Amino acid sequence: MEKEKSLKGVRVLDLTNVLAGPFATLHLALCGAEVIKIETPGSGDLARKLGNVPDFNKKNMGTSFLAQNCSKKSLTLNLKDDKAKEIFKKLVKNSDVVVENFRPGVMKRLGLSYEVLSEINPGIVYCAISGFGQTGPDAFKPAYDQIIQGLSGVMAINGDETLNPLRTGFPVCDTVGGLNAAFAIMVALFYKEKTGTGQFIDIAMLDSIMPFNGWVAANLLIGGKQPVLMGNDNFTAAPSGTFVTKDGYLNIAANKQEQWEDLCDVLGVPELKEDARFKERDTRKGNRKALTPLLEAKLKENDTTYWSEALNAKGIPSGEILSLDDALNQPQVKHRNAIAEVETPEVGKIKVFNLTAKFDKTNGDVDTPPPTLSQHTDEILSGLGYTEKEIEEFKENKVV
């Protein structure tokens, strides 16, 4: 029997652009919500022009857009026009969620603030995503992922003494901001289910990424210790990091005492277990620079695959450092059905991510490809009761 979608019947009005917002609404769409992507006529989401395939960009189907917008519908509305605002308000009346990632104050200037929309629909969940949040001394500053990576401390704790500051290789603040928004929307929908009442959600990318500093921040906030640049080493244990093998590199995380002792046996250096520099966990951490060359002397005797298999067989976490291409195509990822292939208008077959949470009773797979710009405008307007003639007039007057 085919699994149903957990958010079936939930309607989301998605006014977001580029990444943080679309990533949030993508998760809602994969869970079965009807996500109506409301875009500016003629141009649409800026991500439609972003990507490494110029031909796709010209078709308003850039790879950046394709990655975040499966299972959504596209409606174009010129929200500066009064008739378009009327259409939007009609949609709000029968929707559950509104998501936007404009700068603070934009929706208020359009006359479409949460206060206005909640009068129309008291159950509406309104999520505003921005760089710094709706209030505070930095609220009105422009923000992109790079800026937030710097302001959050992320770049300061990456790299080593030879390469720092260092940004994360993907837009982590945008992505985490989107996840935080999706989580918050689900919480608000749960609250609405119990009370019938919607609410306003204020998501800041800066707020969202800060807790991801996790143990590093805890060491400073609670332990009073400043972070140390350690590159690929893990500050919580040793040996735990990246090591040189005969043909490349291997990640090893011997975080437990028994894993350390088993590692010594597998590598054929049992004497290190009794070496005063390495015998105890905290002493080992302090002597990692002396320990690493001793381990690598043995690791260089065989290749990465050999050591990965040998160490894992003994319960010592280890793994190769894969290229992105190899990572996306590894057997475990295929087994987990993490990536779907979907036929897409204007583009052809593309590969995108399914929902990576696996539920035994509900489904999170991609249903439909990313929409072409304005693909569902007629369908949605007809559903609101507008006639063909009215829809044509909207188009002529650039309302839609």
Amino acid at 194: K
- Longest CA–CA span in the chain (Å) reads 86
Phi, psi (degrees; rounded to nearest 5) at 262: -65, -35
Catalytic residue from among 14, 96, 174, 233: 174
Task: Answer for the pair 153, 165: CB distance below 8 angstroms, yes or no.
Answer: no
341 beta partners: 351
Q: And the tokens for 373?
A: 């710009």
Please count the other Cβ atoms lying within 10 Å of the Cβ belonging to residue 140.
13
Instruction: Identify the residue whose tokens are 């990507």.
Output: 51
Residue with tokens 């839609």: 400
* HSE of 400, CA atoms in CB hemisphere, 13 A: 25
Q: In which element (H, E) is residue 67 found?
A: helix 63-68
The one-letter amino acid at 31: C
Q: How far apart are CA 237 and CA 284, in angstroms?
A: 8
Task: Look up residue 94 and give its DSSP letter.
Answer: T
What 353-360 contacts at long range (C-beta under 8 Å, 24+ apart), as own/partner pairs, is 353/67, 354/30, 355/27, 355/30, 355/31, 359/3, 359/6
Is 174 an annotated catalytic residue? yes
Instruction: Give the residue numbers marked as catalytic.
Output: 174
